[in-house]
């Protein structure tokens, strides 16, 4: 059939409009944000961190030599303190990890150069001089203005040892432990609340069965006492990833009044435990697999929560994800026992995706701790002598801090796929909250490294006039911040979000995290 010129033009216009509207329909995601009656508070403690006596996290991380020419208080690096205060670090977990179950707290108090030394058998068999102990950790927390989260030794310690540590920390009256504390220079108790009863008791913390640990938990927890002004929030060692039997057993055998929280540990390992994969050198397919494994956190949190709901429908017991993050091979040439890894844009997307999952499950997840703060695993900060840099992961915590203690706004949307061969995962994830000044924050992640995502958002019942944004992205998914280019990846102003009628409209670039402030 031959068309005349005017008809040909008309046909072309109609065809283009149809194709464009199909493309719009396919690629524009409609997000419903439920603004009415928000109830669940996103606990700030979801944004917690973890510092183990491992590699260069404490020693040559937080705690440097007297001779180091860096601003410090005692031996605590103040540039690191300032960086962590900026992201409002809410709590810090210490002294482990596996280290906790071979740590004897009395070795870490008193005159420093007279403290006994020990071998850190879990992490490189290095000599631990115990110069960083209870007083030093609590001084660090006070500088950071964060809550201490201390894990006691169940695996190789005694009930008496744990119970006396709590007395030393928290008792204000006259007692043998409070006397020693005062002799060591601390008059008033610290009032520590978060208290871990062992770590990974199914593994490095004693290789126990769930049944055996549940009984041990009740003995250890029963003799760690609440002192006036210092109610302990006792946290039981929980499941390794998808060990649902562990959660079931603990919930069945331990009453909620005895257990403030139950932990879950899950690491995103790009390849497998034998060869975890490089932190900096990976292709798109390995990136896809990494993000697929990161998203397993959604399934784990949902399934463990369902088991907990069965025994504890009022959600008294918190799910405490006190170890999470990406775990890769160490940087070439570094001590394999020190777990030092670089940190790329991929890590930032892992962090943002996981924090969105935690926010959306804030009814049950009330504490979480990224492993680990400095120079170990998915670190926020890397140091080299006097230098330090903020990783892409650090910047995610900076963007997401707006959610701390805000109320969760549930969201609904259908995500486009991020495809790799025959496999696919949701490209889009997000969470939203409203703070006490009625300001809404949204953190939106596009995992797809090749395609932008168009978004239209209806903020039901929320009145707003203005939107501002920040974006974290980089040309390559493998991009990092190095000591030569410490600011290569950092948040930038995002001006692509606009108000169209009552809707918020934006295009989310590929491989990016956006934080929107809506008021």
Which residues are marked as active site?
A: 200, 323
Backbone angles phi, psi at 72, to 5 degrees: -150, 160
Which of the stretches 225-233, 283-291, 370-378, 503-511 binds ligand AHR when contact is defined by CB under 6 A? 370-378
267-326: which residues touch ligand AHR (CB under 6 A)? Answer: 323
Is 319 or 489 the residue whose CB approaches ligand AHR more closely? 319
**Minimum distance of ligand AHR from residue 230's CB (angstroms):** 26
Contacts of 222 (CB under 8 A, 6+ apart): 258
Query: In this chain, which residue has its C-beta nearest to ligand AHR?
Result: 97
Q: Which of 29, 83, 98, 430 binds ligand AHR (CB under 6 A)?
A: 98
Which of the stretches 93-101, 109-117, 230-238, 290-298 binds ligand AHR when contact is defined by CB under 6 A? 93-101
Which of the stretches 95-103, 106-114, 247-255, 495-503 binds ligand AHR when contact is defined by CB under 6 A? 95-103
Q: Which of 35, 90, 95, 96 binds ligand AHR (CB under 6 A)?
A: 96
Alpha-carbon distance 167 to 182, whole Å? 12
Radius of gyration of the chain (CA): 25
**Residue that has been written with the tokens 């034998």 in this structure:** 274
**Minimum distance of ligand AHR from residue 358's CB (angstroms):** 18
Alpha-carbon distance 459 to 447, whole Å? 23
52-71: which residues touch ligand AHR (CB under 6 A)? Answer: 52
Which of the stretches 12-20, 23-31, 91-99, 359-367 binds ligand AHR when contact is defined by CB under 6 A? 91-99
**Minimum distance of ligand AHR from residue 197's CB (angstroms):** 14
Does 369 contact ligand AHR by CB under 6 A?
no
Q: Which of 291, 312, 400, 322 is nearest to 356 (CA)?
A: 400
Alpha-carbon distance 503 to 30, whole Å? 10
**Minimum distance of ligand AHR from residue 376's CB (angstroms):** 7
Alpha-carbon distance 130 to 113, whole Å? 9
Does 97 contact ligand AHR by CB under 6 A?
yes
Is 320 or 377 the residue whose CB approaches ligand AHR more closely? 377
Is 239 within 8 Å of 264 (Cβ atoms)?
yes
Alpha-carbon distance 404 to 44, whole Å? 4
Is 91 or 474 the residue whose CB approaches ligand AHR more closely? 91
Does 371 contact ligand AHR by CB under 6 A?
yes
The encoded tokens of residue 22 equal 């199909």
Is 98 or 169 the residue whose CB approaches ligand AHR more closely? 98
Q: How far is CA 425 from the centre of its chain?
A: 22
Phi-psi region of 84 (alpha: psi -120 to 50; beta: other; left: phi over 0): alpha
**Minimum distance of ligand AHR from residue 412's CB (angstroms):** 35
Q: Which of 330, 270, 299 is nearest to 477 (CA)?
A: 270
DSSP codes of every residue in 168-201: HHH--SS-HHHHHHHHTT--S-----EEEE-S-T
Is 201 or 511 the residue whose CB approaches ligand AHR more closely? 201
**Residue that has been written with the tokens 């040892």 in this structure:** 161
Residue 237's SS3 state is strand
Does 199 contact ligand AHR by CB under 6 A?
yes
**Minimum distance of ligand AHR from residue 221's CB (angstroms):** 19
Residue 122 is given by DSSP the state T
Residues engaged in binding ligand AHR (CB under 6 A): 52, 96-98, 199-200, 323, 371-372, 377
């Amino acid at each position: 059939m031959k068309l005349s010129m005017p008809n040909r033009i008309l046909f072309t216009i109609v065809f283009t409009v149809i194709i464009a509207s199909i493309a719009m329909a396919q690629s524009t995601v409609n997000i419903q944000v439920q603004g009415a009656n928000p109830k669940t508070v996103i606990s700030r403690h979801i944004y917690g961190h973890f510092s183990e006596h491992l590699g260069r996290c404490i020693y040559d991380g937080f705690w440097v030599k007297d001779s180091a020419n860096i601003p410090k208080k005692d031996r605590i690096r103040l540039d690191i303190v300032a960086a962590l205060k900026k992201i409002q670090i809410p709590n810090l977990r210490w002294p482990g990890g596996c280290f906790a179950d071979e740590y004897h707290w009395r070795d870490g108090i008193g005159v420093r150069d007279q403290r006994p030394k020990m071998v850190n058998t879990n992490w490189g068999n290095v000599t631990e001089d115990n110069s960083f102990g209870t007083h030093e950790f609590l001084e660090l927390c006070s500088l950071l203005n964060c809550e201490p989260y201390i894990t006691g030794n169940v695996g190789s310690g005694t009930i008496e040892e744990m119970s006396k540590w709590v007395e030393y920390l928290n008792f204000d009256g006259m007692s043998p432990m409070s006397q020693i504390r005062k002799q060591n220079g601390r008059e008033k108790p610290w009032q520590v609340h978060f208290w871990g009863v062992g770590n990974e008791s199914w593994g490095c913390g004693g290789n126990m069965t769930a049944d055996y640990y549940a009984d041990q938990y009740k003995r250890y927890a029963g003799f760690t006492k609440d002192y006036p002004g210092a109610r302990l929030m006792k946290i039981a060692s929980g499941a390794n990833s998808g060990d649902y039997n562990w959660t079931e057993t603990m919930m069945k055998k331990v009453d909620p009044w005895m257990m403030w929280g139950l932990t879950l540990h899950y690491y995103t390992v790009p390849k497998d435990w034998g060869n975890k994969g490089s932190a900096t050198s990976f292709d798109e397919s390995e990136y896809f697999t990494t993000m697929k494994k990161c998203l397993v956190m959604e399934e784990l949190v949902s399934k463990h929560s369902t088991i907990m709901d069965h025994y504890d429908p009022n959600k008294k017991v918190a799910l405490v994800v006190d170890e999470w993050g990406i775990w890769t091979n160490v940087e070439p040439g570094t001590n394999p026992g020190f777990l030092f890894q670089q940190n790329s844009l991929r890590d930032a997307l892992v962090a943002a995706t996981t924090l969105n999952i935690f926010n959306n499950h804030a009814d049950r997840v009330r504490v979480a701790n990224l492993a680990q703060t400095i120079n170990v695993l998915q670190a926020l900060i890397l140091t080299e002598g006097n230098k330090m840099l903020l990783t892409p992961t650090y910047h995610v915590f900076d963007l997401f801090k707006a959610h701390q203690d805000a109320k969760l706004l549930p969201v609904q949307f259908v995500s486009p796929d991020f495809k790799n061969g025959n496999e696919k995962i949701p490209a889009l994830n997000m969470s939203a909250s409203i703070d006490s000044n009625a300001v809404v924050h949204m953190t939106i992640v596009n995992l797809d490294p090749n395609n932008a995502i168009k978004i239209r958002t209806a903020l039901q019942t929320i009145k707003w006039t203005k939107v501002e944004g920040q974006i974290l992205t980089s040309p390559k998914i493998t991009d990092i911040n190095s000591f030569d280019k410490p600011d290569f990846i950092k948040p930038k102003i995002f001006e692509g979000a606009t108000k169209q009628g009552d809707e918020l409209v934006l295009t989310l670039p590929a491989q990016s995290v956006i934080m929107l402030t809506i008021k």
